[in-house]
């Protein structure tokens, strides 16, 4: 099937829009002037300083750990939720209600989410000290708003898949486990991965909720960055952002390479 | 700032049992090498936590964060509010002998009589930074507020109280006016200035400074520290306090209501008021120190810089902004109006 | 349908235990309602329990805040008042004003235009990615998401730099006479939408892709074989099939855009308050938490209404299929 000629052009436009600021960030990270726009000369100084800056490194580590754990939790919970909602004939009121419930975190402004979560933790802290502001509360908070995003993406994918395949599998005497593993999840994988990616990036970039929910020992990258922006964004932060982008891209390329090598046998 | 965290980590790793002293402040607001000096003198480790805006700090403290920090830094205008919200505790004055070093002019403000709750850290002003090549004459708020006399593109400060107060000063009114009619007139004028074609919008002090340095703006409303930095980046730029009046502000060191390390908190405040420490700090971050005993150790080029240490004449036309209590609602509604029309 | 799954063979009576648990057919196999819904409840209940404890319950508490008064210094006083609602409707210290309506209007316009632009660019992108060889697709998808890993403020700051007066883009505009000499390309409306689209595009492309990838091209071919014009083919062949993804994409783009204000502030000169600004400020400099809760919950309710509307539209389109 051939696409009209303007489709690739628009797609490249879209990609340009996405990567133009990153390019600017990368260029600025080599600028030797600390503040201001003017080009002072090429230097890799900022990268060196960034690597030796313990605050940045520990914040980056915290953000990574937080992102991975909360994404895994949210993906599991969200996928189960999407499958459970989609594959049972729930009564209409339940469907409407769960629609509302899932959309609530997407619809609620960050600051309201933050205040709500802080309130919840304040109450729960009376019951168990595990809810002291810190990494645990951060992970819980992030998972809470990530679930919706995963569910929405996976649900739309489920609806697109439809019921025929599952019914066909049943006719062929597949039991529930086999249906899940051989029919449902493989078809759902792109949706699950898309949802997980979405959730991960949301967690990585969250500021408001993290600010209110975290303790002094668990600073994340956005918290560090926001505090520095007030004084003027330093090229060190640009260096950090560039490293994040390049690192993520390398990781993705590596994963795709491995996947491609593994699925060398014809399956599609 | 870059070496502080490394030093911090080393200290934390070697500290063992001594609890840290946590200070909550703006970024780049303390000389990083002071952490070592503090540890050497008192044995406490300094842990710096950052916020972007003091409103966020207050919000975080209100949601139960008072037991996460020891020392808080905030400007005088919110001290009364913090006392009312029970976010800070009275100081044990016996633990702060260095308070004698502070200049009398900076003590005993209306927002904290007798300095029961805090001592000053740094002070500064909010005025106009401009390019004298393109803007002639004495600094005046008309450069930004009067469409007929705007010399070129400009930015206003994205800070409700300061900007409204400056407009009131321009109109000859009290900078802390509680009269609805006066504030309404100021708000209308401010909205008109914002909508005038030469206005590049509201920006933080740093953004405004960047605009002037790059030439995109000829005037910007900034904090004096930003202006000082801009003058280093592009010599020739000037900073001045408009003749109609300007804001002078002072940042206070206070102890959090549920500070986990009370002794350390007081030790830190006392340490920062020491004459040598204050001088070293002021020389590094280039803001004006209220510690009079430190003045003789300040670098002469900083003393001569009107962006850091204003002249006596300029000081005469500065005013502190006050917490307006119930009338703050009216100012907030005014700011919403400015940004809606 | 009633059947005696226990094996009791009778035409007149049904086994009493089977009567209690009526058997139903689901997905082509026999099961009982309790079994079906029981397993379903487990799947669904985990997530709902989590969200219930950490989100729904506190949000309910927050609704109570909407009727509380603001204390003298900005704390919360639990005395009932209508003041927050009347302030939301426009009654402030200066009397009645349209400020809040203007704020809401501007936010809706920004979000709507951003969503439309994102869909216009994102839809072709989704198709283009789906048309790539299978190995390249996850890579491309991930590449679309990678820019979101960089902090939004940093990315917007990068746009500021890119649109600065000494950069090539501004030079071209200055030479073309579009802007005066020495001026930058921000704050302008274009700059704001550049920033918004570049920020929200990944949230549009990903959900769209999940539907586009599973497109049944035979239906599209069938429509063409039946002499449907280009537009009708698109509408009934392609668009109708992509409805679920389209809906998800619209939700995930429009709703967050509604609450965004950082980009408008940084690239638009912070000249106008958006709903996000208003709410944030109540918990910040204006320290009026009850009103913040009111405004925030108003946004939530308004958004849920918008969602409901979107769903009705999509269900109607799906019904027509």
Higher-confidence position of A259 and B199:
B199
Nearest residue in chain A measured CA to CA from B62: A212
pLDDT at position B1, please? 47
Min Cα separation A45/chain B (Å):
13
d(CA C160, CA C173) in angstroms, rounded, equals 15
Q: Which residue among C50, C53, C152 places its CB closest to the CB of A147?
A: C50
Contacts of A201 in chain C (CB under 8 A): 145, 148-149, 202
d(CA C261, CA C282) in angstroms, rounded, equals 14
Q: How many helices (H) and strands (E) does chain A have?
A: 12, 0
Omega before residue B109 within 30° of 0, cis: no
Q: What's the mean pLDDT when you consider all of chain B?
A: 89
Q: Which of A152, A162, A136 is CA-nearest to residue A69?
A: A136
Domain co-membership, C47 together with C130: no
Beta-carbon contacts of residue C113 (< 8 Å; ≥ 6 apart)? C193
Residue A268 CA to its chain's centroid (Å): 28
CB-side neighbour CA atoms (13 Å) of C107: 27
- Max CA separation in chain C (angstroms): 95
pLDDT over threshold 80, residue B302? yes
d(CA A91, CA A95) in angstroms, rounded, equals 6
d(CA C150, CA B205) in angstroms, rounded, equals 24
Q: Which value, to the nearest 10 degrees, does the dihedral of the CA atoms of residues B269, B271, B277, B278 take? A: 20
pLDDT band at A267 (very low <50, low <70, confident <90, very high): very low
Domain co-membership, B194 together with B330: yes
Q: Report helix, strand or coil for C212.
A: helix
Share of chain A above pLDDT 70, in %: 93
pLDDT band at B257 (very low <50, low <70, confident <90, very high): very high
Contacts of A218 in chain B (CB under 8 A): none
Range of the domain at B235: 125-247+308-338
pLDDT at position C192, please? 95
pLDDT band at C149 (very low <50, low <70, confident <90, very high): confident
Partners for A (CB, 8 Å, 3+ pairs)?
Answer: B, C
d(CA C193, CA C178) in angstroms, rounded, equals 18
The answer as to whether C70 is a domain residue is no
Domain co-membership, B17 together with B109: yes
The two tokens of residue B308 are 């850091």
Domain co-membership, C131 together with C211: yes
Higher-confidence position of A86 and C228:
A86
Residue A232 near chain B (CB below 8 Å): yes
Higher-confidence position of C126 and C226:
C126
Which of A244-253, B37-46, B161-170, C193-202 shows the lowest per-residue confidence on average (mean pLDDT)? Answer: A244-253
d(CA B196, CA B186) in angstroms, rounded, equals 15
Q: Which of B170, B158, B165, B243 is CA-nearest to residue B208?
A: B158
Q: Which residue among A11, A160, A244 places its CB closest to the CB of C124?
A: A11
Instruction: Give me the residues paired with residue C70 across strands.
Output: C76
Q: Report helix, strand or coil for A67.
A: helix
Strongest mean pLDDT among C81-90, C116-125, C295-304: C116-125
Beta-carbon contacts of residue A107 (< 8 Å; ≥ 6 apart)? C255, C299, C300, C303, C304, C307
Residue A41 near chain B (CB below 8 Å): no
pLDDT at position B15, please? 47
Find residues 235-274 of chain C whose CB sits inside 8 Å of chain A.
241, 244-245, 247-248, 251-252, 255-256, 259
Q: Report helix, strand or coil for C26.
A: strand
Nearest residue in chain B measured CA to CA from A40: B233
Contact state of B52 with A212 under an 8 Å Cβ cutoff: no
pLDDT over threshold 80, residue B2? no
pLDDT over threshold 60, residue C1? no
Domain co-membership, B177 together with B271: no
pLDDT in tens, C155-194: 888 898 888 887 888 888 888 888 888 788 888 899 999 9
Provide residues of B within 8 Å CB-CB of chain A: 2, 4-6, 8-9, 22, 26-28, 47, 49-53, 56, 59-60, 63-65, 68-69, 204, 206, 210, 213-214, 229, 233
d(CA B239, CA B15) in angstroms, rounded, equals 44
pLDDT over threshold 50, residue A264? yes
Domain co-membership, B221 together with B313: yes
pLDDT over threshold 60, residue C249? yes
Query: The CATH number of the domain where B60 resides is what?
Result: 3.40.190.10
Contact state of A122 with B64 under an 8 Å Cβ cutoff: yes
Cα torsion A255, A258, A263, A268: sign: positive
pLDDT band at A248 (very low <50, low <70, confident <90, very high): confident
- Provide the domain count of chain C: 2
Domain co-membership, B230 together with B150: yes
CB-side neighbour CA atoms (13 Å) of A76: 9
B118-130 and B219-223 beta bridge pairing:
antiparallel
Question: Which residue matches tokens 């409103």?
Answer: B55
d(CA B50, CA C204) in angstroms, rounded, equals 34
pLDDT at position C8, please? 58
- The neighbour count for residue C20, using CB atoms within 10 Å, is 10
Best of A40, A107, A127 to disrupt the C interface (most C CBs within 10 Å) is A107
pLDDT over threshold 90, residue B265? yes
pLDDT at position C308, please? 83
pLDDT at position B41, please? 92
> For residue A178, what is the enclosing H or E element?
helix A176-178
Contact state of C44 with A80 under an 8 Å Cβ cutoff: yes
Higher-confidence position of B318 and C90:
B318
Q: How many helices (H) and strands (E) does chain C have?
A: 15, 6
**How buried is residue C289: exposed, middle or buried, by Cβ count under 10 Å (0-12/13-18/19+)?**
buried
- Provide the domain count of chain B: 2
pLDDT in tens, B139-186: 999 999 999 989 999 999 998 999 999 999 999 999 999 999 999 999
pLDDT at position C165, please? 83
Residue A211 near chain B (CB below 8 Å): yes
- The neighbour count for residue B135, using CB atoms within 10 Å, is 17
Which of C107-111, C174-178, C202-206 shows the lowest per-residue confidence on average (mean pLDDT)? Answer: C174-178
pLDDT at position B70, please? 95
Q: What's the mean pLDDT when you consider all of chain A?
A: 83
Best of C69, C76, C174, C269 to disrupt the B interface (most B CBs within 10 Å) is C269
pLDDT at position B206, please? 86
Residue C229 CA to its chain's centroid (Å): 32
pLDDT in tens, A57-70: 888 899 999 999 99
Residue A226 CA to its chain's centroid (Å): 19
B71-75 and B20-25 beta bridge pairing:
parallel
The backbone torsions φ and ψ at residue B57, rounded to the nearest 5 degrees and listed phi first, read -60, -45
Strongest mean pLDDT among B88-97, C37-46, C247-256: B88-97
Contact state of C99 with B216 under an 8 Å Cβ cutoff: no
Question: Which residue matches tokens 């899932």?
Answer: A102
Beta-carbon contacts of residue C225 (< 8 Å; ≥ 6 apart)? none
Best of B329, B331, B335 to disrupt the C interface (most C CBs within 10 Å) is B329
pLDDT at position B188, please? 94
User: Do residues C217 and C238 make contact, with C-beta atoms less than 8 angstroms apart?
Assistant: no
Contact state of A244 with C206 under an 8 Å Cβ cutoff: no
d(CA B280, CA B272) in angstroms, rounded, equals 10
User: DSSP of B281-331, one letter per residue?
Assistant: HHHHH--B--BGGGGGGS-HHHHT-TTTS--HHHHHTEEE----GGGHHHH
* Cα→Cα distances C135→A259, C129, C206, Å: 8, 11, 17
Q: Which residue among C75, C93, C183 places its CB closest to the CB of B216?
A: C183
Q: Report helix, strand or coil for C94.
A: coil
pLDDT at position C13, please? 64
pLDDT at position C17, please? 60
Best of C70, C73, C90, C169 to disrupt the B interface (most B CBs within 10 Å) is C73
Domain co-membership, B44 together with B22: yes
Higher-confidence position of C214 and C54:
C54
DSSP H stretches of helix in B43-179: 54-62, 79-84, 142-145, 160-170
Nearest residue in chain A measured CA to CA from C151: A205
pLDDT at position B65, please? 83
User: DSSP of A197-226, one letter per residue?
Assistant: HHHHHHHHH--HHHHHH--TT---HHHHHH
Domain co-membership, B186 together with B235: yes
Question: Which residue matches tokens 């709703």?
Answer: C255
User: Do residues C192 and C267 make contact, with C-beta atoms less than 8 angstroms apart?
Assistant: yes
pLDDT at position C29, please? 66
pLDDT at position C2, please? 47
The answer as to whether C45 is a domain residue is yes
pLDDT band at B237 (very low <50, low <70, confident <90, very high): very high
pLDDT at position B187, please? 94
Residue B153 near chain C (CB below 8 Å): yes
pLDDT at position B133, please? 92
pLDDT at position A197, please? 82
User: DSSP of B18-67, one letter per residue?
Assistant: SPEEEEEE-TT-S-TTHHHHHHHHHSPEEEEEE-SSHHHHHHHHHTTGGG
Best of A36, A125, A137 to disrupt the B interface (most B CBs within 10 Å) is A36
Start-to-end C-alpha separation, chain A: 17
* Cα→Cα distances A10→C191, C217, C234, Å: 19, 22, 18
Q: What architecture is domain A56-240?
A: Orthogonal Bundle (1.10)
Share of chain B above pLDDT 90, in %: 67
Which of A175-184, B99-108, C264-273 shows the lowest per-residue confidence on average (mean pLDDT)? Answer: A175-184
Residue C273 CA to its chain's centroid (Å): 21
B45-50 and B20-25 beta bridge pairing:
parallel
d(CA A114, CA B125) in angstroms, rounded, equals 34
Strongest mean pLDDT among B25-29, B248-252, B325-329, C202-206: B248-252
Range of the domain at C98: 77-320
The two tokens of residue B282 are 């002021």
Query: The CATH number of the domain where C271 resides is what?
Result: 1.10.3720.10
Nearest residue in chain A measured CA to CA from C135: A260
Instruction: Give me the residues paired with residue B320 across strands.
Output: B248
User: Do residues C246 and C211 make contact, with C-beta atoms less than 8 angstroms apart?
Assistant: yes
Contact state of A81 with C47 under an 8 Å Cβ cutoff: yes
d(CA C282, CA C298) in angstroms, rounded, equals 14
Residue B209 near chain C (CB below 8 Å): no
d(CA A103, CA B259) in angstroms, rounded, equals 39
Name the DSSP letter for residue A42. B
pLDDT over threshold 60, residue A265? no
Beta-carbon contacts of residue C321 (< 8 Å; ≥ 6 apart)? C236, C240, C241
Count of B–C CB contacts within 8 Å?
106
d(CA A205, CA A241) in angstroms, rounded, equals 12
Partners for B (CB, 8 Å, 3+ pairs)?
Answer: A, C
Q: Report helix, strand or coil for C180.
A: coil
What would the mean pLDDT of C211-231 be, rounded to a whole number?
Answer: 80
Beta-carbon contacts of residue C135 (< 8 Å; ≥ 6 apart)? A256, A259, A260
Residue C123 CA to its chain's centroid (Å): 16
Nearest residue in chain C measured CA to CA from A131: C54
Domain co-membership, B7 together with B48: yes
pLDDT over threshold 50, residue A138? yes
Contacts of C205 in chain A (CB under 8 A): 14
Domain co-membership, C20 together with C87: no
pLDDT at position C248, please? 84
């Amino acid at each position: 099937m051939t696409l009209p000629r303007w489709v690739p052009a628009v797609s490249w436009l879209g990609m340009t829009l996405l990567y133009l600021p990153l390019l600017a960030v990368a260029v600025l990270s080599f600028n030797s002037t600390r503040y201001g726009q003017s080009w002072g000369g090429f230097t890799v100084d900022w990268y060196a300083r960034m690597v030796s800056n313990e605050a940045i490194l520990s914040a980056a580590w915290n953000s990574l750990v937080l992102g991975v754990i909360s994404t895994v939790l949210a993906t599991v919970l969200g996928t189960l939720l999407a499958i459970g909602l989609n594959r049972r004939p729930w009564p209409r009121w339940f469907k409407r209600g769960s629609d509302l419930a899932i959309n609530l975190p997407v619809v609620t402004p960050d600051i309201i989410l933050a205040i709500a979560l802080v309130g919840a933790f304040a109450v729960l802290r009376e019951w168990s000290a595990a809810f002291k502001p810190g990494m645990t509360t951060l992970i819980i908070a992030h998972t809470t708003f990530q679930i919706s995003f995963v569910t929405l993406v996976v649900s739309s994918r489920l609806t697109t898949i439809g019921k025929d395949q599952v019914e066909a599998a049943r006719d062929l005497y597949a039991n529930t486990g086999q249906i899940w593993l051989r029919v449902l999840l493989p078809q759902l994988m792109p949706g699950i991965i898309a949802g997980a990616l979405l959730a991960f990036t949301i967690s990585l970039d969250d500021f408001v909720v993290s600010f209110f929910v975290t303790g002094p020992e668990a600073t994340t990258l956005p918290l560090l960055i926001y505090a520095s922006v007030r004084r003027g964004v330093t090229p060190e932060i640009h260096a950090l952002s560039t490293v994040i982008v390049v690192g993520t891209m390398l990781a993705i390329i590596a994963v795709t390479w491995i996947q491609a090598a593994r699925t060398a046998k014809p399956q599609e | 700032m870059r070496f502080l965290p490394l030093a911090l980590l080393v200290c934390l790793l070697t500290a063992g049992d001594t609890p840290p002293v946590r200070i909550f402040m703006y970024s780049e607001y303390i000389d990083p090498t002071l952490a070592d000096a503090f540890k050497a003198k008192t044995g406490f480790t300094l842990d710096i936590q950052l916020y972007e805006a003091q409103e966020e700090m207050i919000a975080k403290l209100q949601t139960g964060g008072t037991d996460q920090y020891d020392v808080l830094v905030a400007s005088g205008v919110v001290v009364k509010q913090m006392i009312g919200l029970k976010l800070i505790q009275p100081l044990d004055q016996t633990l702060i002998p260095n308070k004698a070093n502070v200049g009398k002019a900076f003590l005993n403000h209306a927002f904290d009589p007798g300095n029961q709750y805090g001592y000053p850290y740094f002070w500064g002003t909010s005025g106009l930074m401009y390019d004298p090549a393109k803007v002639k004459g004495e600094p005046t708020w008309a450069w930004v507020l009067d469409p007929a006399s705007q010399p070129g593109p400009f930015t206003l400060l994205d800070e409700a109280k300061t900007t409204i107060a400056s407009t009131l000063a321009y109109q000859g009114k009290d900078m802390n006016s509680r009269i609805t009619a006066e504030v309404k007139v100021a708000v209308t004028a401010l909205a008109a200035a914002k909508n005038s074609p030469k206005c590049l919008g509201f920006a933080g002090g740093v953004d405004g400074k960047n605009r002037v340095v790059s030439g995109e703006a000829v005037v910007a409303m900034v904090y004096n520290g930003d202006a000082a930095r801009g003058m280093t980046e592009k010599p020739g730029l000037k900073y001045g306090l408009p003749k109609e009046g300007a804001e002078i502000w002072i940042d206070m060191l206070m102890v959090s209501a549920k500070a986990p390390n009370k002794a350390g908190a007081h030790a830190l405040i006392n340490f920062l008021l020491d004459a040598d420490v204050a001088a070293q700090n002021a020389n590094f971050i280039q803001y004006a120190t209220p510690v009079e005993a430190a003045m003789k150790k300040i670098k002469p080029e900083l003393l001569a810089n009107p962006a850091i240490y204003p002249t006596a004449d300029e000081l005469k036309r500065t005013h502190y902004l006050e917490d307006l209590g119930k009338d703050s609602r009216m100012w907030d509604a005014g700011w919403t109006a400015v940004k809606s029309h | 349908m009633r059947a005696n799954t226990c094996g009791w063979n009778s035409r007149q009576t049904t086994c009493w235990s089977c009567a209690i648990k009526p058997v139903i057919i689901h997905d082509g196999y026999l099961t009982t309602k309790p079994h079906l819904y029981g397993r379903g409840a487990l799947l669904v209940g985990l997530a709902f329990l989590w969200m219930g404890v950490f989100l729904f319950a506190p949000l309910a508490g927050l609704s109570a805040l909407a009727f509380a008064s603001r204390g003298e210094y900005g704390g919360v006083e639990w005395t009932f008042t209508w003041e927050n609602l009347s302030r939301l409707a426009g009654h402030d210290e200066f009397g009645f004003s349209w400020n809040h309506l203007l704020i809401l209007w501007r936010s809706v316009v920004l979000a709507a235009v951003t969503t439309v632009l994102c869909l216009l660019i994102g839809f072709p992108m989704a198709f283009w990615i789906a048309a790539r060889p299978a190995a390249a697709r996850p890579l491309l998808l991930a590449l679309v998401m990678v820019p979101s890993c960089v902090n939004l403020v940093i990315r917007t700051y990068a746009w500021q730099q890119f649109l600065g007066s000494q950069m090539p883009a501004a030079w071209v505009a200055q030479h073309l006479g579009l802007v005066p000499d020495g001026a930058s390309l921000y704050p302008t409306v274009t700059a704001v939408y550049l920033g918004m689209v570049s920020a929200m595009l990944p949230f549009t492309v990903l959900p769209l892709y999940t539907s586009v990838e599973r497109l049944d091209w035979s239906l599209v071919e069938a429509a063409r074989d039946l002499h449907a014009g280009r537009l009708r083919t698109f509408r009934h062949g392609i668009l109708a099939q992509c409805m679920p993804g389209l809906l998800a994409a619209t939700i995930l783009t429009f709703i967050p855009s509604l609450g965004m204000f950082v980009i408008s502030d940084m690239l638009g000169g912070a000249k106008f308050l958006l709903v996000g600004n208003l709410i944030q400020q109540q918990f910040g400099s204006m320290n009026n938490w009850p009103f913040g809760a009111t405004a925030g919950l108003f946004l939530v309710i308004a958004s849920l209404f918008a969602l409901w509307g979107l769903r009705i539209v999509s269900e109607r389109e799906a019904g027509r299929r």
